[in-house]
Structure 1
Amino acid sequence: MLDDISLEKTLVGYYTWSIGQNLVYLDAVASRLRDFSFEEASRGVPVETFIAQVERCSQARVARAVHNALTSGDFYDQEYRIGLKAGGFRWLRTTGRVIHDRDGVPIMAMGTVRDVSARKLLLM
């Protein structure tokens, strides 16, 4: 669908996390940015798989931010590097919000993912 990754740098990908099922569903842009096939992403990917993609030095920070969003309703906004299957890496910025039911139980999260590699490389 999207063959030119440079085009994706200007696009926003979207995700939905079904917390009860522990599966994250991605649209075509987000699946490409996160280095999943669209077929895999449309079936749902366990959230642990996303954390495992994150560069080791950032995994604890990202996991804490996910936990805070789940427990306190904090807005999720994180930048981190992920390793790519073909080698190399990509910087991503992921934002989102957790939806709680009337009893305060987190039931789903929705948000965006963007490639911020070009900006990060310019700042380094």
Structure 2
Amino acid sequence: MDLAEEPGIFTWDLATDTVYADSALANLFGLDPEQTIAGLPIIKYLDRIHPDDKPSVAKAISDSVVTGDPYRHDYRVFDRSGQIVAVAAFGRCFRDAAGNPSHYAGIVFRTNDQSQQDELSAHCSAAFKIAKSSGLQATADALEAILKELATPIPSGIAPLH
């Protein structure tokens, strides 16, 4: 299995706020594998989540830590080149003998939504051409902006890692 397709495994020590992860997770999140294996603060992973997805991911993880319920969430991250990668994550918070949250473990894997994005781009492109040829300039402008957003791999303010 190619590392790009391999699921990433992690464990998060809540007391030290250190996430230990394998090289597959490093690859998904665009992080250095040596650093992920040695452990990084959770914020390093949260920084790689798409800004539109970050609040819901943070809330879902927090809810899982508080309740002890399993975590399941779909979201987008930026890989090393700054490309958006759709992922699905499963996790669970484990408690110590006193019942306090102590460790959180899970798995993250790439999902295949590229075909959906390609289809969306194709439909928007067709709608753009129709709006343009029909003289609907405001609609054409809006669709052109959407097409540019769909083609942009990374929003401003988030620098790709090299």
1:27 pairs with one of 22, 27, 34: 22
8 Å CA contact 1:9, 1:114 repeated in 2: no
8 Å CA contact 2:70, 2:90 repeated in 1: yes
2:113 corresponding residue in structure 1: 120
1:106 has 2:107 as partner: no
Listed as ranges, the gaps of 5+ residues in structure 2 are 118-162
Q: 2:58 is aligned with what amino acid?
A: A
Partners of 1:85 and 1:27 lie apart in 2 by 15
Q: Shift of the alpha carbon at 1:88?
A: 1.8
Cα RMSD after superposing both structures? 1.6
2:8 pairs with one of 10, 13, 25: 13
Q: Shift of the alpha carbon at 1:98?
A: 0.7
For normalisation by structure 1, the TM-score amounts to 0.85
Taking the TM superposition and a 5 Å limit, the aligned residue runs for 1:26-65 are 26-65=21-60
Partners of 1:87 and 1:62 lie apart in 2 by 19
Q: Tell me which structure has the larger Cα radius of gyration.
A: 2
2:60 match: secondary structure? helix
2:98 match: secondary structure? coil
Listed as ranges, the gaps of 5+ residues in structure 1 are 1-5
Identity %: 22
Instruction: Report Cα offsets for 1:17-60 as digits up to 9, x if no partner.
Output: 11111010111212212211111101211112211211111111
Number of aligned residue pairs: 117
For normalisation by structure 2, the TM-score amounts to 0.66
Partners of 2:33 and 2:5 lie apart in 1 by 19
